């Protein structure tokens, strides 16, 4: 009987531990097709490209992702998903093609920018700017 109670108590403890422990991120993996993952950015990360990217970022991205790309924009708290932190190593480890894909296609709270920023080179410029954050 004592063994059953111990097992039950351990199970309840584990349930409450996981059920009521806040998570650090509600971000789920975002798979990127290899065709995009392996795309090479056709734009150099020069001053002109970065300046174009910054202008577009400030217009379309800053409200959620924040001025410094930390995911703390004015609209971030209203979203169901984490905006991510562009300064983290895990973000920086993504390929330019993966960042292009995510910006182009969108997912959940992250809108697609294929119509909002129809020139692919402008999206590549945003990727170049994100690399500076």
pLDDT on residue 7 = 45
Give tens-digit pLDDT for 105-131.
999 989 999 999 999 999 999 999 999
Q: Is the pLDDT of residue 48 over 80?
A: yes
Cα-based torsion angle of the residue sequence 50, 52, 56, 57 in order, rounded to the nearest 10 degrees: 10
- CATH number of the 30-130 domain: 1.10.760.10
pLDDT on residue 27 = 63
Give tens-digit pLDDT for 77-98.
999 888 889 999 999 999 999 9
pLDDT on residue 2 = 53
- Which tokens belong to 45? 């990360």
Residue 11, Cβ neighbours under 10 Å: how many? 10
Give tens-digit pLDDT for 53-69.
999 999 999 999 999 99
């Amino acid at each position: 009987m004592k063994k059953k109670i111990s097992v039950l108590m351990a199970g309840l403890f584990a349930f409450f531990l996981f059920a009521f422990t806040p998570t650090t991120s509600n971000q789920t993996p975002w798979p990127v097709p290899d065709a995009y993952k392996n795309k090479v950015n056709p734009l150099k990360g020069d001053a002109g490209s970065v300046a174009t990217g910054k202008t577009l970022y400030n217009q379309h991205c800053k409200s959620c992702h924040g001025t410094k790309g930390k995911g703390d924009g004015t609209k971030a708290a209203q979203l169901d998903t984490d905006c991510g932190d562009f300064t983290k190593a895990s973000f920086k480890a993504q390929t330019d093609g993966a960042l292009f894909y995510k910006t182009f296609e969108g997912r959940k709270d992250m809108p697609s920018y294929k119509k909002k920023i129809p020139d692919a080179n402008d999206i590549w410029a945003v990727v170049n700017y994100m690399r500076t954050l």
